[in-house]
Structure 1
């Protein structure tokens, strides 16, 4: 018994001996109605064009809506719903429990993920209820949309003060739009509230504890949930690990070296396939094409079909092309760079499918909801500097080291114009026996973040995918070593005795 518990017990015994009146019954838990709610499971298909619902139905999943309070400080007030999907365990004799998923973002929809995660889990998947969740304000969960003209808050600062001022004006406009359209809910769009929703889902599923698989931002959500509800987690896998000490609205700062490395690796791949893509016969020649595109955009917008790609957007296209280390993604990116090169040379260009989707995301409001929620979570979780000059100085310093990516990762964003967060950031627990997974060349959640978390959590283990510029590994990259390690942990609940290093797959011949 701890000193505090012993003292409390002695105080209680003394009070009883002195004839103190009996303690009053605890007040009812105001959140109990959410924890004990009955879920109505139904088909996931919303209509004839609902491909996600159809895929879920084919996999045997059902869907339900979980009611949660908008404001956990006012559980009797306004409520919202959180959509969940579930493929139930079929090996009920050896059932482990529920495995909740989050695919990152923030703002990513996870409702449709159980079928492919279940497949990646192979035989062990039969022992789990695999549960997808669209977090609050995402997808089918009381969606939020600030009606932005873009799907992303991120922009490059460009090459001079005029470019930076344009990006500052856009950031201020995006923040203003969110206050106009969604100001009443913005204070409640936070990771802490998403974690609270997860615990309501846990209780509504009838589980004492939940297992969890989170990718990218989902790793931070897992860290927060395990810290807020330390007795509610079972087996935890964090893939693409965020160092909570570096989590804030300027999350991409420091990712420049990893992105430079990924760009060089892609350029070498494209050079080896010069007959197919025509970008140059060696890595330096391909990188020179990228620099030529950047320089042309600085002189004036590039016309790509119906889009104009200026110096604030062109570097972001390059950044967004670097996250998956495989031939398909590399090929899509190479075709997009070829289109941008042709536009820089003054040619009429009809964008390839990947580039058309990317420009639609960046330059139209078709994915406004995604960017809105992503930004609202980041701004709601932690404050950001408010003086534009802070960002300008950071951009100038970063530009000297990396003229392409530095002005993107250090640039100003809407959080500079956001209301202060309603809560302080979560103090992440000192240790968690989790399985961490990260590629050494991950350009989004850099490997140093996974190493930092591993150092802070001696009871955890780290699975390293060495030699891959890959964001998200388990069930995505195709590493039999990494996948088998994750599945063995999910099957047994026992972490590997030591950290595990897996080699990248051999590069295919051109």
Structure 2
């Protein structure tokens, strides 16, 4: 293990292309497989130009005015102006500007199967890359926003300015669309086109118990459609392959060491990478940690939701503590009383959904699923949205359901192109007849005890229904390990109460990776981005700069509050560095859009 004061190296890896990864052989994760990396050249310039233009257009269509003001439209840039940099094997095209920082785009082709050149033949995936250049940078930090299925392009365009403020100018911020995701080709999709998807897709059950027969029947066809539509490429859309793709990205950059910050699903990708390639894992941060042992080896991901209801309880507790600063506080004197009133709404909506009409283009119904999943469940991710959510609930209690319709039905959460969330999840895990007893009754016997204890079960039934009958064979043989010793220890970040990636899962990762350190942010919400904290930023910056590790048992307090005015910390720092960092964290906490079912 290197000294904590060692900096990541820009030197290209000594391992020759086509040789076996040392970690793969020593850990016996891929004993029969060869790590291959196709020669990296700039290809399909016209295609990339079109992609860059379409992304810029999409930004102008979907972004807020504040966001648009910070992005230069791609079409106004003169030509392609292809750029190259010493040590890199690819060329870049300018594709925007964010807060006086250049944004550039490129792409690489990677083998369909990174571990078997014979399987790949001439088949490849195209991986688009995007980079926001740091003003003093010589290193690239790779970012993954989660999902699976989250686009690195949307993430960097949306939050690049804020992330640059947090990380600082000594690193370029580089993200990508993983294989099968968004603008990567071929796209991971179970349908030949969007029209077919609109016609046949069955996203959510009204009642997971009553509708299980319908779900089972639909899943039979869905699993077949995913396999047939994806063809040979479908078998290789999985996280271990994407981890190997990240080495291809590093090779294209001429950068030996992995510098990485992954969020949510990105922590699974980070753990997978660090286990497969410990010798290149120099600065790996995983933030909002999922349990990789369950992800790859369990039928049901039970650990995901162990703290969800603690976050909901926290919403009610913090509301009552805030008094007049929380619009709901006037409806009850105790947390139990307030929860009782909201439970009453849920029961009413289950029996009799509310019809809401605003105008010919804005109307719909609110039912119990809308209320629980699109309302409460999604609110648990982002506490900075709690004041607005509390106002929506207060309006609903007062008989005004319009805000609830807009918030719960016309959701602003991230939508994904294609079906990469399902395909990656089910290709990674133990899916299909090899691992699951078949038939409707077998499905019920397995899933109903889990569903009955989870109010948000309707958001999961599509994936679990398909998981039982999944028709794409599992081609990877990755097995999560304990006692993994990376070149430099991992930095692990978690809130105290994360609704979908528990602190317990973060501790599991802490135990799996030798000398790793866990920093607990004393807050509610998903990932350390959920609430501002200068303490968290200090640990991230120190780790990226020279590998400095926090002490065992490190904790951080959040800077700010859930309801009402802030405690003055931002104002006291004025326009200084800390003030700008806190403002950037505030904006991230307010704007972050997670990929949700």
User: TM-score under structure 2 normalisation?
Assistant: 0.68
C-alpha distance in 2, partners of 1:403/1:508? Answer: 26
Q: Which residue of 2 aligns with 1:320?
A: 377
In structure 2, the residue matched to 1:494 is: 548
Deviations 1:299-344 (A, max 9, x none): 35544554455556553224532333434x11343355467768xx
Look up the match of 1:413.
465
Q: 1:225 maps to which residue?
A: 273
Q: Does 1:189 align with 2:234?
A: no
The answer (yes or no) to whether the contact 2:188–2:234 under 8 Å persists in 1 is no
Counterpart of 2:585?
none
Secondary structure at the aligned position of 1:321 is classed as: helix
- State the secondary structure of the residue aligned to 2:181: coil
Distance in 1 (alpha carbons) for counterparts of 2:143 and 2:394: 37
Q: Secondary structure at the match of 1:481?
A: helix
Look up the match of 1:145.
Answer: 189
Question: Which structure 2 residue ranges, 5 or more long, are not aligned?
Answer: 1-15, 20-33, 64-70, 74-95, 358-362, 565-597
Match of 1:295 in 2: 347
User: 1:245 offset after TM fit, Å?
Assistant: 1.2
Q: How does 1:155-174 map to 2 (within 5 A)?
A: 155=204, 158=207, 161-174=209-222
> 2: CA distance between counterparts of 1:151 and 1:451?
41
Cα distance in 2 for partners of 1:376, 1:279 equals: 46
Give, in whole Å, the separation in 1 of the partners of 2:510 and 2:153.
29
The correspondence for 2:97, drawn from 37, 41, 57, is 57
Equivalent in 134, 139, 158 of residue 177 of structure 2? 134
Cα offsets for 1:23-73 (capped at 9, x unmatched):
xxx997798762443587979443544348748523311001111122333
Is 1:203 the counterpart of 2:251? The answer is yes
Report the secondary structure of 1:139's partner residue: coil
Which segments of 5 or more consecutive residues in structure 1 lack a partner in the other structure?
A: 1-25
Question: 2:261 touches 2:285 (CA, 8 Å); kept in 1?
Answer: yes
The answer to which of 402-411 and 222-231 deviates more is 402-411
Q: 1:37 aligns with which of 35, 41, 44?
A: 41
Q: Deviations over 1:67-112 (max 9, x none)?
A: 11223333432222111111234325xx3x2211101000011124
C-alpha separation in 2, matches of 1:241 and 1:274: 32
Q: 1:477 aligns with which of 523, 531, 537?
A: 531
Q: What residue in structure 1 maps to residue 338 of structure 2?
A: 286
Aligned residues of 1:324 and 1:470 also touching (Cα < 8 A): yes
Q: Render the CA deviation track for 1:342-361: whole Å, top value 9, x for unaligned.
A: 8xx8x874655432333x97
2:168 alignment partner, one of 125, 133, 143 = 125
Q: 1:117 to 1:464 in 2, by over 3 A?
A: farther
Q: 1:397 aligns with which of 440, 445, 449?
A: 449
Contact 2:259 2:281 in 1 (8 A): yes
Shift of 1:118: 6.0
Alignment partners' CA distance in 2, 1:509 and 1:203: 47
CA deviation map 1:200-234 (0-9, x unaligned): 11111111122111001101101111222222222
Match of 2:131 among 86, 101, 109: 86
TM-score in terms of structure 1 length: 0.79
Instruction: Give yes or no for contact 1:382–1:425 (8 Å, CA) kept in 2.
Output: no
Range 145-154 or range 184-193, more displaced: 145-154
* Aligned partner of 1:378 among 394, 402, 425: 425
Q: Secondary structure of the residue that 1:50 maps to in structure 2?
A: helix
Tell me how far apart the structure 2 counterparts of residues 100 and 339 of structure 1 sit (CA, whole Å).
43
Alignment-derived partner of residue 21 in structure 1? none
Instruction: Give CA-to-partner distance per residue, 1:418-454, whole Å, 9 cap, x none.
Output: 1231223333462241000001100110110011111
Residue correspondences, number: 468
